[in-house]
Structure 1
Amino acid sequence: MLGSQIELPVGDGVLSGLDFGGEGTTGVLLVHGSGHNAAVWTDVASRLVDRCHLVAVDLRGHGHSAPVSSTPEQYWRDLADVVAALEWDRPVLVGHSTGGYAVTAATAAGLVDAAALCVVDGMVLDDRDTAALAQAPWQGPEAAERLREMFRYGWRAGEQQMHAYVEQCVREAGTDWLNAGARPELVREVIRRTFLRRADGLWERRPTIEEIATVSAPDPHAVIYPSVDVYAHVRCPITFLLPDRGFYAQRRDEVQAVVDAAPGRELIEIAANHNVPMTQPADLATVIGELVRRHP
């Protein structure tokens, strides 16, 4: 099942997304991680349409969303405009990886009145000084070159080149560290959606290196910052989903400390790699479905 294309106005343009429809009164906003797009949620949404209304958004600089970031906060501040455009009251917000921080930050800043959050391998666990040191390398040329080599971010290709690359990714998915276990057609849909046609007729692989550099340089003096203190500003329930082969698997005790710091929080551990929405959609759908049941 592939959702219907939807346009969502934000302050300086329009974001693209997929409206998967669904029954029930609860709205569920699905927010992807860096390098992904709305299509990653297809297999998760297909398991939930009998109990809630699901929409996935392409963050700025990703997928089919034309606007790019000029500040490091725009991509998560956009979520307030997205929820307003959908006319949703107290939605459930689900974010994977960078999207996990996005839904956390939008809620912590008071921009979205969320009924509950589901953060999928997208925690922020360092204090501000440590987080700033971790972010710094993303501004350098070495990181940029590594991202180009690994993912071809910012690559501009002709149509045949683009299609050939998509099919290469599908063929290699079974042994790829990120996509192993994902349905091949889903890999095709997601990779294809990472390309946006430019005015010159070429297809650009998104996000660009510039987009990543912008969102990786938050203001250290900002109230809402990608560090562990952000959770003190979140009042709604949070479910943290921790895959045993994910980015934060070795920091379980730190995640548990965040859970124990406030009521209404829970930690759920699953057997999966980082790319939970694509490789373990049934398990993730079960977790989201339970949140919808508890927060209709």
Structure 2
Amino acid sequence: MTGTEIELPVDGGVLSGLDFGGGGRNVLLVHGSGQNAAAWTDVATRLADRCHPVAVDLRGHGQTRLASTGPEQYWQDIGSVVAALSWERPLLVGHSSGGYAVTAAAACGLLEPAALCLVDGMVLNDRGTALAWHAAARTAEAADRLRTRFRYGWETGEEQMQAYVGRCVRDAADDPLNAGARPGLVGAVARRSFLRRGGRWVRQPTVEEIAAVSDVGQCAHAFPSNDVYERVTCPVTVVLADGGSYAARRDEVRAVVDAAPGRRLVELASNHNVPMTKPAELAAVVLGLLEDGVRQA
């Protein structure tokens, strides 16, 4: 199953997405920075018999042509996406920066989710530390690292694009992010990251997209710092990868979980890229949430 291509209207245009069909409770799957909707394919395939999963390409990612001009548009779009789908109280599942995206959308009241599932995707710094961290992400040196490692913003022809996708598949086993992922899935995610513009292909996201969403000094509604969780009132499940981005900060994650009722911590043996490398385990967590009584109107 690869999902059916859909377009979802948001402010200024549309987001691309994949609708994996199914019936019953609605589940929105939100990818992290640098990935796209295809990253959820192996999770969604395991969900579609028992719920209705949809994955989106956020601004500047995948096949979405809209780019961010500020740091908050990409998560504000989540409210518009849910409205376009005519959903009420969906389960929101976000990986990496997508975990913050669904958190911010819930914290600001853009929608009323049944629950959040944050997959190795949290904000644990205080405001001062977060501001400094994001400022560092906007430097020329940081942009060069992204271009070198991930080819962000690379503009190329068909042959070179296909060769790059092939290399991603061949190198997956030695890639700290993709090791353990199904090769065909690695190829699908890499291929979806190229957007056709004229006669060329552009690797999304661009470094300009990363810089725009990192300009958090302009945040007016939800600053990406640890106090955002004080504004989240729905149930929250945090999936913590023991080889992921937050493993060394488990005590801080635990403190967020323990700070309010209706929160729980699930730990998985995984690298950071849980949706692609541990799809069966993650799908089981999501289905468990639904079976435990996540209710949708």
User: Contact 2:239 / 2:267 at 8 angstroms: preserved in 1?
Assistant: yes
- Confirm whether residue 238 of structure 1 aligns to residue 245 of structure 2: no
Residue aligning to 1:147: 146
- Confirm whether residue 121 of structure 1 aligns to residue 120 of structure 2: yes
Between the aligned partners of 2:285 and 2:132, the Cα distance in structure 1 is 33
CA RMSD in angstroms comes to: 0.8
SS at match of 2:275: helix
User: Contact 1:135 / 1:216 at 8 angstroms: preserved in 2?
Assistant: yes
- Confirm whether residue 30 of structure 1 aligns to residue 29 of structure 2: yes
Between the aligned partners of 1:195 and 1:279, the Cα distance in structure 2 is 22
- Confirm whether residue 138 of structure 1 aligns to residue 137 of structure 2: yes
User: Contact 1:128 / 1:220 at 8 angstroms: preserved in 2?
Assistant: no
Between the aligned partners of 2:5 and 2:169, the Cα distance in structure 1 is 23
- Confirm whether residue 62 of structure 1 aligns to residue 73 of structure 2: no
SS at match of 2:268: strand
Q: Which residue identity does 2:282 align to in structure 1?
A: L
SS at match of 1:139: coil
Between the aligned partners of 1:127 and 1:137, the Cα distance in structure 2 is 16
SS at match of 2:46: coil
User: Contact 1:63 / 1:193 at 8 angstroms: preserved in 2?
Assistant: yes
Residue aligning to 2:99: 100
Deviations 1:224-268 (A, max 9, x none): 110000001100000000000000000000000001110000011
CA offset at residue 219 of structure 1? 2.8
Deviations 1:57-91 (A, max 9, x none): 00010000000001110000000000000000000
CA offset at residue 102 of structure 1? 0.2
Residue aligning to 2:42: 43
Deviations 1:116-153 (A, max 9, x none): 00000111011101111111111111000000010000
SS at match of 1:117: strand
Residue aligning to 1:6: 6
Between the aligned partners of 1:80 and 1:213, the Cα distance in structure 2 is 23
Point out where structure 1 has 5 or more consecutive residues left out of the alignment.
none
Between the aligned partners of 1:205 and 1:156, the Cα distance in structure 2 is 6
Stretches of 4+ aligned residues off by more than 2 angstroms? 219-223
Residue aligning to 1:188: 187
Between the aligned partners of 1:173 and 1:227, the Cα distance in structure 2 is 32
CA offset at residue 222 of structure 1? 2.9
CA offset at residue 218 of structure 1? 1.2
Q: Which residue identity does 1:254 align to in structure 2?
A: E
Between the aligned partners of 2:165 and 2:54, the Cα distance in structure 1 is 24
Residue aligning to 1:274: 272
Between the aligned partners of 1:38 and 1:32, the Cα distance in structure 2 is 6
Q: Identity of counterpart residues, as a percentage?
A: 65
CA offset at residue 112 of structure 1? 1.5
SS at match of 1:219: helix
User: Contact 1:132 / 1:220 at 8 angstroms: preserved in 2?
Assistant: no
Q: Which residue identity does 1:21 align to in structure 2?
A: G
User: Contact 2:244 / 2:272 at 8 angstroms: preserved in 1?
Assistant: yes
Between the aligned partners of 1:148 and 1:56, the Cα distance in structure 2 is 26
Q: How does 1:139-218 map to 2 (within 5 A)?
A: 139-199=138-198, 201-218=199-216
Q: TM-score, normalised by structure 2?
A: 0.98
